[in-house]
Amino acid sequence: MNQLGRIQQNFQDRILFPQDTDSPAWISPTGRARPETQLGAYSYAYRARLTEVLASDYPAVHMAIGDDAFAELTAAYIRNYPSQYFSLRDFSRHMPQFMQLHRPVTDQQWLYELASFEWALCEAFDAADAPILTEIFLTGYATEDWPQLRFAVHPSLHRLDFNWNIPEMWQVLTSDTPSEITALEGQPSAWLVWRDDLITRFRSLQQDELRAFDCLCAGDNFADICTALATQFAVEEVPYRAVTLLKTWLAQGLISGAEM
């Protein structure tokens, strides 16, 4: 490694691991501030910016556990997941998994679900654009072709399962006037998160819709979706329910394509 490479490596090590590096003898002491002070400004700015990103991506988690616990959590996260890209877009992506292991929040399992929900909101907002399928487009298919139709979901769409009242908690914790709310464990519930134009939306799935939608996401055709609905409806009711669900998904912009 040449001299410039060694200086760059020393600088990076000092920023990432300020407690584990030697005195910066490689910096000229003739400046207006001591070498430690000069490097300290960069080290502080690096962590402060990453902390801002985490607070922006996980405001409900921050509100739920308070400033001190969140500062401890973010400091530990930054040590374990130093930024590796020019863009900070994906810096926060490992936080939900990290929270399962990091104390003091590891015993509060609902926090993992809350973090997962917040990251899904981030990903949905930043997802790539894609065409939105319309009912008019589907009229181009003949009746006999419908059983073989397969649908592509919009890139912003995420399907989540919660054991706690996560969306309700998120709404309360991120409101203009946050208030206390109790984490309640109940029956598992399925939710969708997606982007509608520039607005991020979310809603729950009914049990029959859940089975049908999971078939759609798995790449099953329209006949398979109807078969899934037939486990919960009388045969004569299935076509109406299938078409109703499809119209709902189209109206909400959840589907971006169809093919045989």
Rounded CA-CA distance 259/41 in Å is 56
Q: All domains of the chain, ordered by start, with CATH?
A: 129-260 (3.90.930.50)
Rounded CA-CA distance 91/123 in Å is 12
From residue 71, alpha-carbon distances to 41, 46, 65, 119 in Å are: 19, 15, 10, 18
Whole-structure pTM value: 0.86
Give all strands (DSSP E) within 138-210, no chain letters.
150-153, 158-164, 185-196, 199-204
- Please check whether residue 208 is in contact with residue 241, taking contact to mean a CB–CB distance below 8 angstroms: yes
Q: Quick one: pLDDT at residue 21?
A: 53
List of the chain residues with pLDDT < 70: 1, 3-44, 103-107
pLDDT in tens, 193-242: 999 989 999 999 999 999 999 999 999 999 999 999 999 999 999 999 99
- Residue closest to 192 by CA, chosen among 92, 122, 124, 128: 124
Q: Quick one: pLDDT at residue 260?
A: 86
- Please check whether residue 169 is in contact with residue 114, taking contact to mean a CB–CB distance below 8 angstroms: yes
